[in-house]
Amino acid sequence: MEKGNFIVIPEKLKGKKVEDVAITNNAVVIKFTDGTFLDIYLDKSAQTLKTSTNKLEG
């Protein structure tokens, strides 16, 4: 899978219901009931937190 840059738009996440949350040492992944995921993860090379959203299709 190719890595990409994604922009998180907070307004598009408002009102969504959380279905599940996974927390590790380097990331937090929030799954919403519509299949959308919000990823918050540590970019070790830049020493910053980054975010991305994606939706599983299928």
Whether 30 and 23 have beta carbons less than 8 Å apart is answered as no
What is the domain range of residue 21? 10-55
Q: Answer yes or no: is 40 within a domain.
A: yes
* In-domain check, residue 1: no
How many domains does one find in the chain? 1
DSSP H helices, 1-58, are: 10-13
Is 3 part of a structural domain of the chain? Answer: no
Q: Is residue 23 part of a domain?
A: yes
pLDDT for residue 58: 62
Residues of the chain with pLDDT under 70: 1-6, 58
Domain assignment present for residue 34? The answer is yes
pTM of structure = 0.76
Residue 2 lies in a domain: no
Cα–Cα distances (Å) from 55 to 13, 38, 45, in that order, read: 12, 9, 26
